[in-house]
Amino acid sequence: MKLSATLALVILVATAVAKPWKCFPGQYQYRDRNLKICTSCPLNTYSSGRKATSCKSCRPGTYSNRGARRCTSCPAGTYNSRSGGSCRRCPANSYSRPGAKSCTKCPKGTRSSSGAQTCSIGLARVENNVDYWGADIRNFRSKGVQDCYNNCRKQKGCASFAMRKTDSYCWLKKKRNGAKRTGNRDRLSANMVPVDGGWSNYGTWTGCSVKCGGKGTKQRRRSCNKPAPANGGKGCEGNDKQTAVCYATKACPVYPKQQLTYSGYWGNWGQRSYCPNGGFATSFKQKVEPNQGGGDDSALNGICLICSQGGTACSTVGPWGSWRTSRTSLSGFNEFRMKYERKQGRGDDSGANAVRLYAKSYRYSGSHIMLRKRNRDRDYGYNTSNEGKWGTWSSRMKCISGRVICGISTRVEKKQGGGDDTALNGVSFKCCS
């Protein structure tokens, strides 16, 4: 049995010696007595294989893993200063390109962390000798790299800047550095880092859109300022506004049936409109057609109430004229009178020409009207600057005590074609408590 084993070993050795001896790339030939063995190259060495009897050390600026057939450049932010050495991280306030044998000190006024690929100042990455030649926005003599950077941040469309090291002369550019066309070798250059926008937290909810009567909506907003987009970065995705349902549990006031009406002669009554959310009129506007000379005059065409809780109340409106708005009475209005032209027979009828609203000096608070007289009663008339010129004023019509005007309906004659147009003829105001 021992004789057979010895014979097999002799045959194996003879076979190994007889065959050509080749290793794979990343290995070298190693002889152990009568045996020829292929062994992997150690770290930071390499071989092409085949008949290599030893491994070669990697050059400075490169490295390799065990069993490598070639060396690889050290990554950016690292360096290797000797043959067969390992890549090491650059210290703080220095940087390196791939394959560096040593690290470059950051330019004055800039900084970097350990293992950095570039130096930085604020939102700019600073390098040497890669500035784009041309595409200047403007140039000026700066006080240094910080001043050059600050001006680029303020300049719309500035993507990069370059600064001459000898005298701090600065160029602001539309294109990013690192392009094929490069400038002089005495320049320091920097690309502005794009910053994508981020949403802030939502603010507080607005009040409910209704003050009474059930379901409404409320809103809250956020801003794209944490951070704000900068240097060509993307804006925030999504909506800046959020809407939710809200409810007003208080019942809306029931309007009493008192109304103040001036009927006029012609036209049909429009649908009555009320101030929203239980409000009342604090101002009003009139639509009046100016004097047409020898043409057909229609004078007053429309009246709308402007309300205390926002919004307006409008009924039917004629097609002619322009709007003008009155002054504001925070206490509301409790009287009105109409300027109306009587029938002209075969002449040109204009119908209603203007309306004036009146308010006593009251004050109010909250959503309920608190009417309290001041030291003396004094009437204030509110008008607009575009009143019609024809007709006479009616007597005043007044809401009962404690009530103010909150709704309106108007009587408007439709277009008469070739006939005589009068537009608005009558108005009916609703009084509310």
CB 139 within 8 A of CB 170: yes
Residue at 281: amino acid letter: A
Measured distance CA(270)–CA(314) in Å, rounded: 9
Determine the length of the chain.
433
The secondary structure of 293-362 as a DSSP string is: TTS----EEEEEEEETTSSEEE----SSSEEEE----TT---EEEEEEPPP-TTS----EEEEEEEEES-
Say which CATH topology domain 259-432 has.
Vitelline Membrane Outer Layer Protein I, subunit A (2.100.10)
Residue 409 identity (one-letter amino acid): S
Short-list 137, 140, 145, 89, CA closest to 117 = 89
Which of 190-199, 328-337, 420-429 has the weakest average pLDDT? Answer: 190-199
Kindly report, residue by residue over 414-423, the tens digit of the pLDDT. 998 888 899 9
Nearest to 259 by CA among 371, 408, 379, 381: 408
> Residue 392 belongs to what H/E stretch?
strand 392-393
User: What is the rounded radius of gyration, in angstroms, for the C-alpha atoms of the chain?
Assistant: 45
- Residue 8 DSSP SS3: helix
d(CA 169, CA 341): 79
Higher model confidence: residue 211 or residue 46?
A: 46
In angstroms, the CA 395 to CA 384 distance is: 19
Phi, psi for residue 316 in degrees, rounded to 5? -70, 140
321 has a pLDDT exceeding 90? yes
Condensed to tens digits (0 to 9), the pLDDT of residues 53-111 reads: 889 999 999 999 998 989 999 998 999 999 999 999 999 988 888 999 999 888 777 88
SS3 7: helix
pTM, to two decimals: 0.42
CATH code for the domain defined by 197-251: 2.20.100.10
| Vertex 286 angle, CA 285 and 289, to 5° | 150
Measure the CA–CA gap between 298 and 318, rounded to whole angstroms: 9
Query: What's the maximum distance between 2 C-alpha atoms anywhere in the chain?
Result: 149
Span 384-389, average pLDDT: 92
Mean pLDDT of 368-392: 64
- Superfamily (CATH) of domain 118-192: Hepatocyte Growth Factor (3.50.4.10)
**What's the whole-number mean pLDDT along residues 352-358?**
94
